[in-house]
Amino acid sequence: MQLHISQPTPVTAPYKDIFREETTGEYLSAIQLASESVARFLGNNKKPFSGVTPADLKPFFSTVDLNTPLADYQSLLQEVETIYSDHAIAFHLPQYIAHLNCPVVIPAIAAEVLISAINSSLDTWDQSAGGTLIEQKLIEWTCREIGFGPDADGIFTSGGTQSNLMALLLARDHYAVHHLHHNIKKDGLPAEATRFRIFTSEISHFSIQKNASLLGLGEQAVVKVRSDQFRMDMHALEDAIRLELQKGNIPIAIVATAGNTDFGNIDSLETAGRLAAQYKLWFHVDAAYGCGLLLSNQYRHLLNGIELADSVTTDYHKSFFQPVSSSSFLVKNKATLGLLKYHADYLNPKEQEEDGLPNQVSKSLQTTRRFDALKLWFTMRLMGKQQLGEYFDTLINTTAAVATILEEDPDFELLNYSDISALVFRYNPESNFQTSACSMNQHIRKAMLEQGEALVAGTKVQGAYYLKFTILNPLTTTDHVLGVMDIIRQHGEAWLQTQPVVLENACD
Ligand SMILES: *Cc1c(COP(=O)(O)O)cnc(C)c1O
């Protein structure tokens, strides 16, 4: 008889990667190593960007075989640092003043530890329990800060784009139900839908068009109203509504912006709200950016009129110092959210509603949904409104001071004053009045991205290219911005040196 001698198997704990009581040690050490990697990210970053290009990074990716796992966290983190964190854009540095990315507060980051590990899903009570109540309490709080009454409600969403989609969906279906006795959810679009019109300013967020198109109304449904001083011109708005009525079209909604993406300016919410009431239109306020003013001590009045809205978009990840994603969609009258409601037998059957169990899925476009609300909960409970409001006031005040600096500097042309914290301008030294400011400013932005010492954004206004500062970091001071302006000047001067005497003036 032959004995079968088996090979010794390596000693590994079974299922050591599955998060549970027996793997508490593994869990704590993984989190420790990951947070040390984050600390290295902070320690290594002396400028917002390394200037890395896709071509620099691609070779690393070609050597990675996803079917061959690495030995341990040390090797993993080393790899991730090489291909990602060493070159990630550092939003927390005061020289990052490009897009609408705020620095994030530590309580919110700590909350992320619980969010992923406990992994509640906020669609139903039976997957979240207290998580649902935490979300509801924050929604109630936001509604109250807006000035909505007791019938208000809302939901956390993935971002402003989704919140704006919900707003237009409700506006569309609300009109159809109340004016055409037509249920779009059941019966699809009525013939009249090709004539539905949504009014918003020419400089509102592109998600308005995108969402109108997703909702089957087509981009043609969006009437872009002229802006004046980078705010929707309210006379032009009323003229536009009248003109569409004359043409036999069907106005259904006004979308006002509280803080437009490029200029941080706020449409007159009181006037827009009054016009919406007068013409019986859904009134949506896109406060993705401007919602930070809800926290403000000095500037809350800039949102006056927001309480007239039927629905509001807020992005806590734009202006409450929250990590992505953290946003909400709020309505004045919770009954309108019924337009979104579906019953799934496995999630929120009708019987359960009668038991009084709160199932947030009825109000959401998403099903499985992250417990993002916990980040804001940590933030509000540890820092509070007052502290966050001071941060927000600081960046508004810094921006006003920077506007003055830009305006007084003959080398720069400032295009707007901002209600919040976005300034559009270009480098255009007087002595070179004839130069192509567009090509020069495009060059400046590109050179700044390559060098990474400071990051600014770029945008086009009436076909011409401009640079943009978005100041969302309360640690950014006017001295930092003066430093950034020097960098801009250096790149601009270098570009001028390379130019032939006769310069084109094209902006495309
Ligand atoms: C950023 C922004 C949005 C879109 O929000 P996301 O969270 O990026 O989806 C909508 N409206 C305005 C005014 C914005 O600035």
- Whole-number pLDDT of residue 402: 98
Coil vs helix vs strand at 90: coil
Confirm whether 7 is domain-assigned: yes
Q: Name residue, tokens 């270098």.
A: 494
449-490, pLDDT tens digit by residue? 999 999 999 999 988 999 999 999 999 999 999 999 999 999
Q: How many CB atoms lie within 10 A of CB 270?
A: 15
Same domain, 220 and 359: yes
Q: Give yes or no for a contact between 58 and 43, defined as CB atoms under 8 angstroms apart.
A: no
- Work out the burial of residue 340: count CB atoms within 10 Å of its CB; fewer than 13 is exposed, 13-18 middle, 19 or more buried: middle
Same domain, 138 and 224: yes
Q: What percent of the chain has pLDDT over 70?
A: 95
Q: Give yes or no for a contact between 175 and 310, defined as CB atoms under 8 angstroms apart.
A: no
- Whole-number pLDDT of residue 4: 63
Confirm whether 96 is domain-assigned: no
Question: Which two structure tokens, joined as six digits, stand for 470?
Answer: 């978005």
Q: What mean pLDDT comes out for the span 56-77? A: 96
Q: Whole-prediction pTM value? A: 0.95
Confirm whether 471 is domain-assigned: yes
Check pocket membership of 207 for ligand 1, CB cut-off 6 A.
yes
- How far, in Å, are 435, 443, 505, 506 from residue 493 at the CA level? 12, 11, 17, 19
Same domain, 494 and 366: no
Check pocket membership of 267 for ligand 1, CB cut-off 6 A.
no
- Whole-number pLDDT of residue 352: 72
- Whole-number pLDDT of residue 278: 98
Q: How far is the CA of 266 from the centre of ligand 1 (A)?
A: 14
Confirm whether 139 is domain-assigned: yes
Q: How far is the CA of 200 from the centre of ligand 1 (A)?
A: 15
359-388, pLDDT tens digit by residue? 999 999 999 999 999 999 999 999 999 999
How far is residue 395 CA from its own chain's centroid?
17
- Whole-number pLDDT of residue 181: 96
Domain count, the chain: 3
- Whole-number pLDDT of residue 63: 92
Same domain, 160 and 49: no
Confirm whether 102 is domain-assigned: no
441 has pLDDT over 70: yes
- Whole-number pLDDT of residue 346: 80
Q: Which of 332, 366, 382 is the last residue of a domain?
A: 382
Q: How far is the CA of 228 from the centre of ligand 1 (A)?
A: 21
508 has pLDDT over 60: no
Say which CATH number the domain at 406 has.
Answer: 3.90.1150.10
- Whole-number pLDDT of residue 190: 98
229-252, pLDDT tens digit by residue? 999 999 999 999 999 999 999 999
Same domain, 241 and 337: yes
Q: How far is the CA of 468 from the centre of ligand 1 (A)?
A: 17
76 has pLDDT over 60: yes
Take atom 5 of ligand 1 and give the residue whose Cα is closest: 160
Least trusted range by pLDDT, from 111-125, 261-275, 417-431: 417-431
> Domain range spanning residue 337?
121-382
Same domain, 249 and 374: yes
Give me the half-sphere count of Cα atoms (radius 13 Å) on the Cβ side of residue 96.
19
Confirm whether 105 is domain-assigned: no
- Whole-number pLDDT of residue 435: 59
Same domain, 247 and 313: yes
Phi, psi dihedrals of residue 131, rounded to the nearest 5° = -55, -40
Same domain, 493 and 417: yes
How confident is residue 2, by pLDDT bands cut at 50, 70 and 90? low
Q: How many CB atoms lie within 10 A of CB 20?
A: 10
Say which CATH number the domain at 265 has.
Answer: 3.40.640.10
Which residues pair with residue 461 across a beta bridge? 464
